[in-house]
């Protein structure tokens, strides 16, 4: 029962990740790709946190918070230079 | 399976489902600005729910603090990042969905300086130095609310001419006498600035300057 639930959770996250990758590949504009990258990092955080519970490792949460900080800085930098470019 | 495990699994399942919805949203929404609502709102809620499950599962102070700090950081950073990328996208000319009805920012941004400005009529002052454009809001108690423009006799009594009526996002330019006024409408008027205080009797508020007109 609990194994099946784990599989459902991970499959849902994976399906979300796949659709974001399709948007990342398709674009059509650069800001579309930037928000797709942002969402990929959020879903990756979801994966990390789920694995922290699965393998009983609270240390994984540090990775999640670092990922959140880096992806925020990345989005801000992308937005800043996108606006400067025109 | 204990009750706590059940709640943890339920929260994680909910969070994973929201992440899945965010993925569907970013793939299926018609334009960038609608897609952003999927990435910011739904994904934030999803990761928040999963982190809530973590606090229940580990049930100790340090991990709870970690998870709450992460939730707070995401809740603050996601809107900021979305605002910045949305602003950059608007300036670089990413098109809106063809079904978009209202674009409030259209024509209000200076393309060079990226500053928000109100619309002005350049050089108007030179042609009629004694007149100024002003904006006045019709208050709830105003005697003008519910009457037509012809009935309030604005030009004859006060010396002001109505250029436009703004009602929410609706703009009635060059209105004729049959246009009816309601409370909370904004009137764009042109007239002598020294008589502006007289308008308070009719509208319940005095006019304020609009742009440089």
Domains along the sequence of chain A with CATH:
2-85 (1.10.287)
Q: What is the pLDDT of residue A23?
A: 93
Least confident of B16-30, B84-98, B115-129, B190-204: B115-129
CB contact under 8 A, B84 and A75: yes
The residue ranges of DSSP E strands in B70-195, in sequence order, are: 132-137, 161-167, 170-173, 186-191
Of A1, A35, A76, the CB nearest to B35: A35
Q: Which two tokens stand for residue A25?
A: 């590949």
CB contact under 8 A, A72 and B35: no
Q: Are B173 and B194 in contact (CB under 8 A)?
A: no
Which of A64-68's residues contact partners 24+ apart within 8 Å by CB, and which partners?
A: A64/B51, A64/B70, A65/B66, A65/B69, A65/B70, A65/B73, A67/A41, A68/A41, A68/A42, A68/B70, A68/B73, A68/B74, A68/B77
To the nearest whole Å, the CA of B56 is away from the closest chain A CA by 10
In tens, the pLDDT along B104-133 reads 777 667 766 777 765 555 556 666 777 778
ipTM of the complex: 0.92
């Amino acid at each position: 029962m609990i194994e099946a639930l784990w599989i459902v959770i991970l499959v849902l996250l994976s399906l979300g990740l796949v659709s974001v990758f399709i948007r990342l590949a398709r674009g059509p504009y650069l800001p579309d790709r930037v928000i797709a990258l942002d969402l990929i990092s959020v879903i990756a955080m979801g994966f990390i946190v789920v694995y922290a519970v699965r393998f009983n490792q609270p240390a994984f949460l540090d990775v999640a918070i670092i990922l959140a900080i880096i992806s925020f800085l990345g989005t801000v930098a992308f937005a800043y230079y996108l606006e400067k470019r025109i | 399976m204990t009750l706590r495990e059940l709640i943890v699994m339920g929260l994680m399942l909910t969070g994973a489902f929201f992440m899945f919805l965010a993925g569907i949203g970013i793939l299926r929404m018609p334009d960038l600005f609608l897609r952003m609502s999927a990435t910011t709102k739904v994904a934030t809620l999803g990761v928040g729910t999963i982190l809530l499950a973590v606090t229940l599962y580990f049930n100790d102070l340090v991990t709870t603090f970690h998870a709450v700090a992460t939730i707070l950081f995401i809740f603050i950073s996601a809107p900021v990042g979305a605002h910045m990328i949305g602003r950059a996208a608007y300036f670089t000319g990413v098109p809106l969905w063809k079904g978009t009805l209202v674009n409030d920012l259209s024509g209000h941004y200076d393309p060079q300086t990226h500053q928000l400005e109100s619309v002005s009529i350049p050089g108007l002052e030179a042609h009629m130095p004694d007149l100024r454009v002003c904006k006045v809001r019709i208050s709830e108690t105003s005697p003008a609310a519910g009457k037509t423009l012809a009935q309030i006799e604005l030009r004859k009594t006060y010396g002001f001419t109505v250029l436009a009526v703004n009602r929410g996002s609706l703009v009635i330019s060059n209105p004729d006498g049959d246009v009816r006024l309601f409370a909370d409408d904004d009137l764009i008027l042109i007239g002598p600035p020294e008589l502006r205080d007289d308008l308070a009797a009719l509208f319940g508020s005095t006019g304020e300057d609009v742009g440089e007109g």
